[in-house]
Amino acid sequence: MPATKVLNGDAATTPVTVIEAKGHNSDPAAADVARGIAQAHNHLPEVNLGYVAAPAPSITDTARAQARNLNVGVIAVDDSDSARVIEPARVTGAGEFSTTIDAVRLQATTHRLTDGSFPVNHPKNYLGYALAVAVDGDTETVYVDNVINAISGGRRGAILLNLVNDQPNGDSLTHLGAEVVRFGRDQHGSVTAALAEFDTWTGRSTRFTELAPRWAQLARSVAIQYEPTRLIITALERIHQNGTRDATLADIALEAARINQPLAVEVFFTQHRRDDVLTADGDINEAVLTDPTVYKSGIHFQFKYQLYHVGILTTGGTDDKKTVLSNTWRLEQAVGSASGPR
């Protein structure tokens, strides 16, 4: 790579470089550049320079801004004989991490929230999947008989929250998932008895903290280990400390972007509206945050309900785009907040 195409080429005499190439069989403008950027960034702990190479028509201003934020260079391929560096990279020490790695991890694991919807809106549905994996018999049958019919949603929720490992030869419990099983045995005598109790909760709208307080506390401990949960809580703590008692989704999205923009973009905004949300320089276009259609339904519906059921938020979510921006967000117990609830 020519030194003039590296922002600080003198930082390493022979930098190790990775180039992720992206293309499309029929439409040069349809190459998945965003995925290539994420993959190149994922290699930065092991190399000094990361680039994505893609057909020039597929490289948008938003993609270039994302690449700059993640310190990934961009190579525009014009044809089979010519290419040009349109975004230079900066040499880093192998092993260098930043908060942006959270966004890469979030995007890499079954896209987590990136496909638009957190799969289930009640904590019992992912806890129950871990229990179903632990008992003898067919996991899907056990899950349907005792928890809910939405097998894929419960399974994906358990994977996202690190209760279950997604493996080719079948699901297996993580250490956290095994702890859920131990808890179930301790509370009910056996996993089968725990699942029978879960069955009695089907269709109940009662808040989980009231329906099953100890299970809700366990679910809260699971949720707090999920990166989007911590981002939302930190954003709300800051908002409350600044004097706002009831925050809006737009308030939280903006504050979250100030804390960790790459992760916030992955958590809050739909893939097809990011060109509107991000400016050409990679900043948040605050005027667009008043448009409810830029937000993923998973964040303001299913995931918000999860946080309500485990006692983190005071109210549940909504799937009505007309009320998304007026649906308030408040921590049940804010720390050090003069305006939040005590």
The 3-state secondary structure of 329-342, one letter per residue: ECECCCCCCCCCCC
Same domain, 194 and 239: no
What is the pLDDT, as a whole number, of residue 247? 97
Domain-embedded: residue 104: no
Q: What is the pTM of this model?
A: 0.70
pLDDT at 105 over 50: no
Percentage with pLDDT > 90 across the chain: 49
Pick 327 or 5 by higher pLDDT. Answer: 327
Same domain, 26 and 68: yes
Question: Last residue of a domain, which of 222, 242, 277?
Answer: 222
Question: Which of 103, 83, 87, 85 is CA-nearest to residue 39?
Answer: 103
Same domain, 136 and 216: yes
Binning pLDDT at 50, 70 and 90, where does residue 17 land?
Answer: confident
Domain-embedded: residue 102: no
Same domain, 199 and 155: yes
Same domain, 218 and 119: yes
Pick 311 or 66 by higher pLDDT. Answer: 311
Domain that holds residue 139: 115-222
Same domain, 68 and 45: yes
pLDDT at 11 over 50: no
Same domain, 243 and 281: yes
Mean pLDDT of 310-333: 94
What is the pLDDT, as a whole number, of residue 109? 43
| Residue at token pair 């600044």 | 242
What is the pLDDT, as a whole number, of residue 42? 77
Q: From CA 60, how far away is CA 1, in angstroms rounded?
A: 23
Domains identified in the chain, total number? 3
The DSSP H or E segment spanning 160 is helix 151-160
Question: Last residue of a domain, which of 172, 200, 222?
Answer: 222
Binning pLDDT at 50, 70 and 90, where does residue 95 land?
Answer: very low
- 3 state DSSP class of 251: helix
Q: From CA 244, how far away is CA 120, in angstroms rounded?
A: 29
Mean pLDDT of 65-88: 88
Binning pLDDT at 50, 70 and 90, where does residue 153 land?
Answer: confident
Question: Last residue of a domain, which of 222, 242, 274?
Answer: 222
What is the pLDDT, as a whole number, of residue 141? 95
Domain-embedded: residue 54: yes
Domain-embedded: residue 93: no
Q: From CA 29, how far away is CA 101, in angstroms rounded?
A: 27
What is the pLDDT, as a whole number, of residue 341? 46
CB 306 within 8 A of CB 118: yes
Q: Which of 10-14, 248-252, 294-298, 333-337 has the lowest mean pLDDT?
A: 10-14
Reported as a single tens digit per residue, the pLDDT across 187-229 is 999 999 999 999 999 888 899 999 999 999 999 999 999 989 9
Buried b (16+ CB within 10 A) or exposed e, 316-332: bbbeeeeebbebebbbe
Same domain, 267 and 320: yes
Q: Which of 7-21, 83-97, 144-158, 276-290 has the lowest mean pLDDT?
A: 7-21
Mean pLDDT of 224-249: 94
Domain-embedded: residue 210: yes
Domain-embedded: residue 10: no
Domain-embedded: residue 169: yes
Same domain, 321 and 233: yes
Same domain, 215 and 231: no
Question: Residue 177: which residues within 8 A CB-CB, separation 6 or more?
Answer: 130, 133, 158, 162, 163, 164
What is the pLDDT, as a whole number, of residue 337? 53
Percentage with pLDDT > 70 across the chain: 85
Same domain, 131 and 150: yes
- 3 state DSSP class of 55: strand
Domain-embedded: residue 312: yes
Same domain, 208 and 243: no
Q: Write the DSSP symbol of residue 27.
A: -
